[in-house]
Amino acid sequence: MKMMIEGSMGVAYMVMRCRPNVIAAYPITPQTHIVEDLSQFKADGELSGEFINVESEFGAASVVLGAQAAGARAYSATTSQGLLLMGEVLFNMAGMRLPVVITVANRAISAPISIWNDHSDAMVMRDSGWIMLFAEDNQEAADMHPQAYKIGENPEIMLPVMINMDGFILTHAVETVDIPSQKEVDEFLPPYKPEEYLNVENPLTFGNLAEPQWYMETRYKLQETQEDAKALIEKIADEYKGKFGRYHGGLIDTYRMDDAERVFVAMGSIIGTLKDVVDDLRARGEKVGILKIRSFRPFPKEKIREVCGHVKELLVLEKAISFGLGGVLQEELRSTFYGQKHQPKVLGFVLGLGGRDIPPKSLIKLYEVSKGKEISNEFVDLRPEVAPKGSLVTL
C-alpha cells in the first residue's frame, strides 16, 4: 500500500511488519517519531510485541540485548548522544552475537549542541562489530528493515544490524512510501528461531569472561563473519527485489558509471542531490558518475574495485571526520586501492557537518576546481573568515 507519510512512520510501519517481540527506546531528536509511532501502534492494538518504556538509551539497549538473548526478536532506535550512551551495550551485542536491529537517525554530536544531520554518530560505532547500512531515501530506509533482520538472524551470521537514515532530511520528510502487507513480509521474513538462547531447560552463559587464550578467537570470528556477510547481503537484496520489485539492499549502487572517469562517492541522502548534479554535468559532456556506499560495515572493497576499474578519480564526500586523521570514508577508499594494479586518485571532501546545507552549486564547483589537484580533507563551504587560504569552496 502506497502512503504519503513521514520517513519515521514508514520505518515504524516496516518495523511492525517485522513482528518484533520487544521494542525499547528512549526519546531523542530526531528519532523520536519512529518509536512514538510504534507506541501508538501498540496502544491501538496493531502491534503485538511488548513496548517497554525505559529511563535512558543505555536502558533501552540493555532491554533489547536481554530480550534477544532470551530468544526474542528485538528493536530499538536512537541518534547522536543517545547512540553514544548505548555504546557499551552495542559492543556487547556484537560480541554476544545477538541480531538486534537498531535504526539510527543520524545527527551531529555535541559539543556544541547540534540537533541536525551528519554521520558523526555512526562513525563512532564503526568498529563495534555491527553491520552498518546507509539509506538514500525513505523507501530504501523502510525496505532495509526486513532485510536487516533476515541478514542478522541467519545462523551463519548472527550479528546486530544498524540502519542509518539522515536525521530530519529523511526522518521528517514526507514522501510516498510503499508499505507491503503483513502477509507479504511474513512470506519474506520467517519467525526468529535462534539455535541458542537463554533457557532454564538448557542453561547457557552469554558474554562471560574470556581469558587470553580465548578472547582473540572471538575477535577473529567477528571479523570473519563480517566478511561472510557480504555475500548474504547481496543475496537477500536480490530476494527482496524478486519479492517486492525494488533493489534496496546490497553493498553498493552505481549511477551513470559505465564510462565515468571521475566518480562521486558518498553515503546517505546526499546521493539524491548528487544524481541531479551528475545529470547536469553529463549534459555538459562530463564523464562523471556516482558510487553509492550502502554497506559501510562490512566495507565492500571487492565490489568497489570491480566497478572502478576504469575510473581515474574518486571524489569522496563525507559528513564526518576523524579528528587528527581526517575523513573516514576517503581513508577507507585509499586502503581499498592500496597495492592494487589500478589505483584511481582519491580526493577527499568533508561537508554538511552539523546540518550545513549542501547545495548543488557547491558540488558542481568542487567538481570543477578540483580537477588535476591532490586533495585530502578539504572542508567544503566553510565561512570565509574561518577558511584557510586557498580553500576551494567557501560560503
pLDDT tens for each residue of 72-110: 999 999 999 999 999 999 999 999 999 999 999 999 999
What are 210's three cell numbers?
574470556
What local confidence, expressed as pLDDT, does residue 276 receive? 98
Please indicate, yes or no, whether the overall pTM of this predicted structure exceeds 0.95.
yes
Does position 390 have pLDDT exceeding 90, yes or no? no
CA angle 263, 264, 270 (to 5 degrees): 155
Question: Which is nearest to 169 in space by CA: 358, 25, 365, 297?
Answer: 358
- In the Cβ-directed half-sphere of 274, how many Cα atoms lie within 13 Å? 26
Which domains are present in the chain? Answer: 2-244 (3.40.50.970), 252-379 (3.40.50.920)
What local confidence, expressed as pLDDT, does residue 45 receive? 97
Q: Is the peptide bond before 27 cis (omega within 30 degrees of 0)?
A: no
pLDDT digits (tens, 9 = 90+) for 111-163: 999 999 999 999 999 999 999 999 999 999 999 999 999 999 999 999 999 99
Q: What are phi and psi of 105, to 5 degrees?
A: -85, 95
- Report the percent of the chain where pLDDT is more than 70: 100
What are 287's three cell numbers?
564523464
Strand pairing partners for 253?
292
CA–CA distances in Å: residue 117 to residues 171, 172, 225, 353, 357: 10, 12, 30, 7, 10
DSSP 194: -
